[in-house]
Structure formats: structure tokens, C-alpha cells
Amino acid sequence: MLTAYDNYKQGHDCLFTARTHSEIHKASRDTVENYLENRSIWQELNHYKEKGSVLGNHPIFARLKRTDEIRGMKTGDLVNLKINLGNRLVKNKANLRRQPSHPETLKRQERIREMEHELSEVNRLLHL
């Protein structure tokens, strides 16, 4: 939460020093993303403080749920998932290289990070 807040403040300051359109775009994107991340974490913490239970809206909870699902898979399913993830990673990375300025670039990068996380968990479970 502190990192997101610090990054938000730095991005906000950069908005006032940016000169070119690309600098303004990058500073705006960074500022908004970090603000939303900080806000999401704040909501989780505040809900826990008030109710004593986790709200569960932050993306990290989806990742934890997916990791639990992977840990519950049988060996054959893990092997199939490893193959599938490998193929999807190659395809997504190629799309990212081919179209670096695509409007969905950030979502593509996030998908790649999630698939790499899943693949590392699968490899760990398969002792690879």
C-alpha cells in the first residue's frame, strides 16, 4: 500500500513536469494505476478493520484462489496445464512483441505475469 501511494505521488508530480504527449500519457497512466491500487488496498484494510473479515476484492485474492486450485489438481491435469500455459505464453508474448503500442498492452502484460506465476507453481508441484 505504501509503495502504491509513493508511486502515485511521484506520478502526480510528473504530471506537472511532463513536456511531451508520451510523457503526459505515461505519467497519467502510472498515477491512475497506482491510485486505484492504493484505493483497493485501503478498502480491504478498512473493511477488515470494521468487520473483522476480508473483503476479497483485491486481485491478489483471485491469484491465491487460483493457486489453491492448481495445488488441488492431479498430476495429469498439472501436465496438461503446463503444456497449455506454455503455448499461451508463447502466443501472448508474440502478440506483445508484434503490437507493443496496442491499447490492451497493459492487460496483456498482466495476463503474461499471471500465466508465468501459474506456470512456476505447476513446475514447483511437478518438481521441475
For residue range 40-56, what is the model confidence (pLDDT) as tens digits?
Answer: 888 988 988 999 988 88
- Residue 77 belongs to domain spanning: 59-125
42 and 84 within one domain: no
Q: Are 47 and 91 members of one domain?
A: no
**Type of residue found at 55:** L
Q: Is the pTM of this model over 0.95?
A: no
Whether residue 90 is found in the same domain as residue 41:
no
pLDDT of residue 102: 85
Please compute the mean of the pLDDT values over residues 81-102 and round it to a whole number. 94
Of the residues 10, 25, 51, the one at which a domain ends:
51
Non-local (6+) Cβ contacts of 17 within 8 A are: none
Taken as a whole, the chain contains a residue count of: 128
Q: Are residues 38 and 63 in the same domain?
A: no
Do 43 and 96 have their domain in common? no
Residues 34 and 85 in one domain: no
Give 81 or 103, the one with higher predicted confidence.
81
Work out the average pLDDT over 4-29: 87
* Same domain, yes or no: 47 and 64: no
Does 42 share its domain with 63?
no
Name the domain count of the chain. 2
Average pLDDT over residues 4-16: 86
